[in-house]
Amino acid sequence: MTTGYTPVGYNTGSVQNMQLGAGAIYLGLDVSSLTTSSTYAEVQALLRNATAKKLGATRGGATFNAVPSTSVIDIDDMKFPIPGATKLDSWDISLSSTALEVTETNIEWLLPTAERDAVTGAFRVRNTILPQHYKDNVVWVGKKGDGGYVVINLTTVLNVDGLAMTMANQGEATIPFTFNAHQAEGADTDFGPFQIWLFNANGVQGASQFAAPAGEIIQQENGKR
């Protein structure tokens, strides 16, 4: 008697393809050196030399969103959406987490429109968002099950949540934040302001597909970095 085949989603490489852990967030990390020929070793060296760019300790991991808002063209007698009738209206591209470290750098990045008073040195906020209040980029980096990296770069970012710091008795202050990416002036409007790379740990050209060892860059590109 033959036994039936039970389809399952996982395979021998499933764990290696999983993203594991909370990862780390880097503020203003220059990733312009990453290309289709970048190797795992080069990415590792970039991260090792970027300790000062880390946002620091976080809680609850991080959440990346690249979510479109869509609408369907209203056509007479169309009972179901047809290809071409669905259009993209806008995108929500964001990275959110909760910071635990209260540093001058974090205050500057997490407090929208923050500026330092030239006399007192204290942080203040303007009532107007000026071009200089947008930060060049924020990068999240996490490990994969095979030891490789997932790198997500958001450009022209602003923390739209503002600074909401909660202090706790016998606990640590928490600062939730959401960096929203924006289309930079002069950027290619055909692509969104973020990039995703996947790098294998076996030294092959970085940017593997989710389920295969060889690669491509999954990219929505913005001219500003």
Residue identified by tokens 């169309």 is: 78
| pLDDT of 203 | 54
Q: What is the DSSP string of 117-164?
A: -TTT--EEE-SS--GGGSEEEEEEEEEETTS-EEEEEEEEEEETT---
Q: Which residues contact 152 (CB under 8 A, 6 or more apart)?
A: 64, 95, 139, 140, 141, 194, 195, 196
Q: What is the mean pLDDT of the chain?
A: 86
Identify the pLDDT of residue 208. Answer: 37
Using one digit for the tens of pLDDT, what is the confidence trace for 37-93? 888 888 899 999 999 999 999 999 999 999 999 999 999 999 998 999 999 999 999
In 38-146, which ranges are continuous DSSP H helix?
A: 40-48, 104-110
| 19-67+91-220 is classed CATH 2.30.110 | yes
Encoded amino acid at 155, one letter: T
pTM to 2 decimal places: 0.84
* pLDDT tens figures, 142-170: 998 888 899 999 999 999 899 999 999 99
Rounded to an integer, what is the distance from CA 82 to the centroid of its chain? Answer: 32
> If you ran DSSP here, which 8-state letter would residue 27 be given?
E
